[in-house]
Structure 1
Amino acid sequence: MPRFAANLSMLYNEHAFLDRFAAAAHDGFKAVECLFPYAFDTHDLQQRLSGNGLQQVLINAPPGDWDAGERGLACLTGRETEFQTGFLQALAYADALNCPRIHVMAGLKPLGADLAVIEQTYIQNIAWAATQAQQSGCDVLIEPINTRDMPHYFLNYQSQAHNIVALIGASNVKVQMDLYHCQIMEGDIAAKIRHHLPTGRIGHFQIAGVPMRHEPDLGELNHAYLFDVIDEVSAACGWEGWIGCEYRPILGDVTNGTRDGLSWLARLRPSTPI
């Protein structure tokens, strides 16, 4: 069975952020991920991880001015220095937290921009980040995101991402395959897993129910089947990564909402103390 990581930016919002680590561990998670940990000191985060027996398996690099609508800097020509500063901050956090993966958001395509130019900027920035991360043994992840949730996002399709990874040619640049985004944009997920996972270019999976991004057992995707496909292909190719639970809980009340919605996980892991 795949290994699941709780996304603490989206799960356990009934708790203050630093208290979400204990809540995730109580529910049987052995790993966590989050979007942007930079409001918290690395020492405090280390204590929450070690005190709850958790691994930090993924963080995002700073995305620019999120509140102003920015969704990454990597494709934005003229923002290279800011991108580099942000990535080095992410790398320092990853080193401190022993986190092996950093997701770099591509950014939104500027109105009227030359797509060839911003693609070249994106490729150069990701290649630079991969070089910086190499000494730390850290993977740089790129993720196709659907255009309904994030209009004008630069990276939208699995083939687009895998082509860029192949073009850069660095062993530590990989694709973050979010099954939620993939289903919305293109579907045929099982076939894509079977095609891409053996290449070694998938570094991480994420899940959520489609179409509303709630618990994975709500909506049109048969996640139990897809987990079996991941297991089958992983056994053949040796993939040992994580599946991040990046969804918005809807089941249960505001006090116990995340836990009440984990019945999908309990069915997969009956021994989990949920």
Structure 2
Amino acid sequence: MPRFSANLSLLYADLPFLERFRAAKADGFQAVECQFPYESLSGAKLHQIKAVMDELNLAMDLHNLPAGDWASGDRGIACDPARGEEFKIGLLDAIQYAKTLGVPHLNCLSGKLPKGVSFEQAQSAFVSNLTFAAEALKKENIKLLIEPINTFDIPDFFLSSSQHAVDTIMAVKSSNLYLQYDAYHMHRMGENILEIEDLMPFIDHIQVADHPGRHEPGTGEMPYGDFFMMLDDQAYEGWVGCEYHTLHQANFFQAE
């Protein structure tokens, strides 16, 4: 069975951010991840997060790069040709958080295709920003990820298929850019989550949730029993992030 980490942006959502670390530890998780640990969104200062992680002996495996103005509808800015400098400034902030918290992966959300921007223009900006970020993070020993997201949950999201992600990784030509494979998102886009053997060389982080409802595995239609066995067969050694809204009060994964 793979190793599971608790995504603190969706799990324990009724608790203040710092208390979610304690809830994850109480449920047996040894690692966590989150979408945005930044004070403006989490309400927690960097030193407070570091202190509670140290106290609980919890590792954080992943968080996202700053994604623009989330409250105003931004879902990433990396594909926007007009926001390259903002992307670079956000990268510096992300590096500070990742280094302080010991986070080995940073995920870059492409964002939505900007109005008036062609696919080719957006792809050129995306590749340029990723090339810069991958090399900057390589110097810090931090891996850069990109994550395809379904266009039902986020209409117009630019990166929405595994193939587009692989094509982008190949275009960037960096040894420090990988795929974050979110099984929920790719299932929603019609991909078969049991047929990802060709993607495994690119994957360095996985996330799960079931469909419909984006709840824990076993609550919907997705074949997670077979999926987890396939990951074992593929000798996947990374964390699997539990990024879902809990349907039942007891957590699906009570990990030892």
Runs of 4+ in 1 over 4 A off after TM superposition: none
Please give the per-residue CA displacement for 1:30-51, whole angstroms capped at 9, x wherever unaligned: 0000011111322111111111
Q: State the shift of 1:187 in Å.
A: 2.5
Any idea what SS the aligned residue of 2:38 has?
coil
Please give the per-residue CA displacement for 1:252-273, whole angstroms capped at 9, x wherever unaligned: 3xxxxxxx1x2x324xx5xx4x
CA distance, structure 2, for counterparts of residue 224 and residue 21 of structure 1: 27
Please give the per-residue CA displacement for 1:205-232, whole angstroms capped at 9, x wherever unaligned: 0000112101111111121210110011
Question: Partner residue of 1:54?
Answer: 58
Q: State the shift of 1:154 in Å.
A: 0.4
CA distance, structure 1, for counterparts of residue 93 and residue 177 of structure 2: 18
Given that residues 74 and 121 in structure 1 are in contact (C-alpha distance below 8 angstroms), is that contact kept between their aligned partners in structure 2? yes
2:127 is the alignment partner of 1:113: no
Given that residues 184 and 211 in structure 1 are in contact (C-alpha distance below 8 angstroms), is that contact kept between their aligned partners in structure 2? no
CA distance, structure 1, for counterparts of residue 147 and residue 170 of structure 2: 14
Question: Partner residue of 2:237?
Answer: 240
1:195 corresponds, among 185, 194, 198, to 198
Structure 1 unmatched ranges of 5 or more: 253-259
Question: Partner residue of 1:208?
Answer: 209
Any idea what SS the aligned residue of 1:189 has?
coil
Q: State the shift of 1:142 in Å.
A: 0.4
Q: State the shift of 1:186 in Å.
A: 2.2
Question: Partner residue of 2:189?
Answer: 185
Question: Partner residue of 1:265?
Answer: 253
Question: Partner residue of 1:257?
Answer: none
Structure 2 unmatched ranges of 5 or more: none
CA distance, structure 1, for counterparts of residue 148 and residue 195 of structure 2: 17
Counterparts in 2 of 1:1-274, with a 5 A limit?
1-39=1-39, 40-192=44-196, 194-197=197-200, 199=201, 201-234=202-235, 239-252=236-249, 260=250, 262=251, 264-266=252-254, 272=256
CA distance, structure 1, for counterparts of residue 186 and residue 91 of structure 2: 26
Question: Partner residue of 1:255?
Answer: none
- Once the two structures are overlaid, the 10-residue window that deviates more, 109-118 or 203-212, is 109-118
Task: Name the TM-score, length of structure 1 as normaliser.
Answer: 0.89
Please give the per-residue CA displacement for 1:120-170, whole angstroms capped at 9, x wherever unaligned: 000000110011101111011100000000000000000110111122121
Q: State the shift of 1:111 in Å.
A: 2.2
CA distance, structure 2, for counterparts of residue 172 and residue 211 of structure 1: 34
Given that residues 146 and 181 in structure 1 are in contact (C-alpha distance below 8 angstroms), is that contact kept between their aligned partners in structure 2? yes
Task: Name the TM-score, length of structure 2 as normaliser.
Answer: 0.96
What percentage of residue pairs aligned between the two structures are identical? Answer: 38
Any idea what SS the aligned residue of 2:195 has?
helix
Any idea what SS the aligned residue of 1:43 has?
helix
Please give the per-residue CA displacement for 1:161-216, whole angstroms capped at 9, x wherever unaligned: 01111221211100100000010102211112x1211x2x1110000011210111
Any idea what SS the aligned residue of 1:140 has?
strand
The number of aligned residues is: 252
Task: Report the residue type matching 1:149 in the other structure.
Answer: D
CA distance, structure 1, for counterparts of residue 180 and residue 9 of structure 2: 17
